[in-house]
Amino acid sequence: MLLKLAWRNIWRNKRRSFIVLISVVVGLAAIVLTDGLSNGMMSQMLFNQINLDVSHLQIHKNGFDRNKIVKNFIPDYKHVESTLQTNPEVEAYSKRVFATGILSSASNSSGVIIYGINPDEESKVSIVKSSIINGKYLGSGKREIIIGKKLAEKLGVEVGDKIVAMSNTLKGDIGSDAFRIIGIFQTSSSGFDKMTVYVQALTEQEMLGIGDNYHEFAVIAKDYTKINLVKNNVETKLGSDYEVFTYRDLLPMLIYQMELYKESMMILNVIIGLALIFGIINTMLMSVFERIREFGVLMAIGMKNSRLYLMIIFEAFILGIFGTFVGLICGLLLDIPLAHSGINLSIFATGLESFGVGAVIYPVLSIGNLINAVLFMPFVAVIGALYPAYKAIKLEPIYAINYV
Partner 1 sequence: MLLKLAWRNIWRNKRRSLITLAAVVFAAVMAIAMRGIQLGTYALNIRSVVELFSGYLQIQEKNYLDNPSLTSSFIIDSKILDALKSTKGVVDYAPRIYADGLISYKDNSRGAAIFGIEPEKEKNVTTFVQNINSGKFFTSDSSNQIVVGDQLLKNLDAKVGDEIVLLAQGYDGTLGNQKFKIVGTVKFGVQELESALIFMGLKSAQSLLAMGSKVNVVAIKADDLNHLEEINDQLSSKIRNSNIKILSWDKINPELEQAIQLDNVSGIFFLGILIVIVAFGILNTVLMSVIERFREFGVVLAIGMPQVTLTYLVYIETMLITFIGLVAGNIFGYAINYYFILHPIILGEELKKLYEIYHFLPQLKSTLQVSIFFNVSLSILAISLASCFYPAYKVYKLEPLKGIRHT
Return residues touching partner 1 (CB under 8 A).
Answer: 15-16, 19-20, 22-23, 26-27, 30, 34, 38, 67-69, 100-102, 104, 106-112, 153-154, 156, 166-168, 171-174, 253, 256-257, 260, 268, 271-272, 274-276, 278-279, 281-283, 285-286, 345, 347-352, 354-355
* Min separation Cβ 154 and partner 1, Å: 6
d(CA 11, CA 17): 7
Of 272 and 313, which CB lies nearer to partner 1 in the complex structure? 272
Phi, psi (rounded to 5 degrees) for 299: -70, -40
Q: Are 32 and 370 in contact (CB under 8 A)?
A: yes
* Min separation Cβ 270 and partner 1, Å: 11
**Closest among 146, 149, 121 to 198, alpha carbons compared:** 146
Q: Are 311 and 291 in contact (CB under 8 A)?
A: no
Of 229 and 274, which CB lies nearer to partner 1 in the complex structure? 274
**Closest among 273, 268, 287 to 320, alpha carbons compared:** 273
d(CA 328, CA 79): 52
Residues 6 or more apart whose Cβ sits within 8 Å of residue 100: 68, 111, 112, 113, 114, 167
d(CA 162, CA 396): 94
Of 202 and 285, which CB lies nearer to partner 1 in the complex structure? 285
* Min separation Cβ 228 and partner 1, Å: 21
Q: Are 307 and 392 in contact (CB under 8 A)?
A: no
Residue 209 DSSP class: T
* Min separation Cβ 33 and partner 1, Å: 9
Of 234 and 361, which CB lies nearer to partner 1 in the complex structure? 361
Of 117 and 284, which CB lies nearer to partner 1 in the complex structure? 284
Of 83 and 187, which CB lies nearer to partner 1 in the complex structure? 187
* Min separation Cβ 229 and partner 1, Å: 27
* Min separation Cβ 255 and partner 1, Å: 11
